[in-house]
Amino acid sequence: MPQHDIWYETLHDNFGQYFHVDRVLYREKTAHQDLVIFENAAFGRVMALDGVVQTTERDEFIYHEMMAHVPIIAHGQARKVLIIGGGDGGMLREVSRHRDIESITMVEIDAGVITFCRQYLPGHSAGSFDDPRFHLIIDDGVNFVGATNDTFDVIISDCTDPIGPGSSLFTSDFYQGCARCLTPGGIFVAQNGVCFLQQDEAVHSHRKLSHYFSDVGFYQAAIPTYYGGLMTFAWASQDPSLRQLDPATLRARFRAAQLECRYYNSAIHTGSFALPQYLLNALSAPR
């Protein structure tokens, strides 16, 4: 076998995944985090921050379709969307496919991620950084949601794991701020880790979100390079019916949105809210 450099993910202490590095395209210690983008024969270009896979060309569509279309289709009348994080541009690409959306604000802590992903992962943003509806703010998401006078119909926290700068996006202050700047009928979603390996993170998020939202839950999808099983997405709103829309309504809205997706469809939308019993048990366990 030809010799390869190997990149090891360091999210977990005593096990993990690795990638053959065919070519390092960029490496930079930005002011906030250690960024690397490299090429791998199986997953295409891979971007990692602080030793954790953030996104790959091959499987990014699963994550971005599920975190964008589930809340926007469920909302039904979203006009203003806030993306926290999301510097690679994949979430922005998927949100901007909804023609009825009038404004998309991104609050990203690290301008370097946007700069390098525009250059080395152009398929992620696919030109959406130039969308006239797009507004970029470079800041910590927790600062923005605590201070803004703006309001949003959908908030998507497309953040890193709760290590380094991402930690602030798993705090009560952040969740309170999001509850504050959501419009009535608004929906908050956030990446919340692979529940089989990061179950405590889901339990902690559920507990904190429940102080500010009357309906809190999770939905899921399996994303190959988010190693270890189902990726859980936190869901929070003040209206439980938003999580229980009937299939006919979902199908009608999906058809009206005229989206061509590779993962999302109405059946996947409904089925994604089915959770493994071990997670349900952990969420309902006495605190």
Region binding ligand SAM by CB under 6 A among candidate stretches 36-44, 78-86, 127-135, 240-248:
78-86
Is 169 a binding residue for ligand SAM by CB under 6 A? The answer is: yes
Judged by CB, which is closer to ligand SAM: 174, or 213?
A: 174
Is 89 a binding residue for ligand SAM by CB under 6 A? The answer is: no
DSSP H helices, the chain, are 60-75, 90-95, 111-120, 122-125, 141-147, 172-180, 199-209, 247-257, 266-271, 277-284
Is 140 a binding residue for ligand SAM by CB under 6 A? The answer is: yes
Binding mask 182-211 for ligand SAM (x = CB under 6 A): ---------x--------------------
Is 153 a binding residue for ligand SAM by CB under 6 A? The answer is: no
User: Around Cβ 25, how many Cβ atoms within 10 Å?
Assistant: 15
Instruction: Report helix angle 277-284 to 199-209, nearest 10.
Output: 50
Report the candidate in 127, 124, 65, 139 with the shortest Cα–Cα distance to residue 98. Answer: 65
End-to-end CA distance of the chain: 52
Number of H helices, E strands in the chain: 10, 13
Question: Going by C-beta distance under 8 Å and a sequence separation of 6 or more, which residues neighbour residue 225?
Answer: 17, 43, 46, 53, 55, 56, 59
Is 96 a binding residue for ligand SAM by CB under 6 A? The answer is: no
Is 68 a binding residue for ligand SAM by CB under 6 A? The answer is: no
- Catalytic one among 158, 200, 239, 246? 158
| Residue found by looking up tokens 């569509």 in the block | 61
Known catalytic membership, residue 13: no
Under a CB-based contact definition with an 8 Å cutoff, are residues 174 and 141 in contact?
A: yes
Among 71, 87, 186, 217, interactor with ligand SAM by CB under 6 A: 87
Judged by CB, which is closer to ligand SAM: 39, or 239?
A: 39
Total residues at interface with ligand SAM (CB under 6 A): 23
Under a CB-based contact definition with an 8 Å cutoff, are residues 190 and 213 in contact?
A: no
Alpha-carbon span 67 to 61, nearest angstrom? 10
Is 74 a binding residue for ligand SAM by CB under 6 A? The answer is: no
User: In the bound complex, what is the minimum distance in angstroms from residue 67's beta carbon to ligand SAM?
Assistant: 8
Region binding ligand SAM by CB under 6 A among candidate stretches 19-27, 104-112, 146-154, 273-281:
104-112
Is 110 a binding residue for ligand SAM by CB under 6 A? The answer is: yes
User: In the bound complex, what is the minimum distance in angstroms from residue 114's beta carbon to ligand SAM?
Assistant: 7
Look at strands 34-40 and 23-29 and give their pairing: antiparallel
Judged by CB, which is closer to ligand SAM: 90, or 250?
A: 90
Indicate which residues carry an active-site annotation: 158
Binding region for ligand SAM (CB under 6 A):
54-55, 63, 84-88, 107-110, 113, 140-141, 158-160, 165-166, 168-169, 191
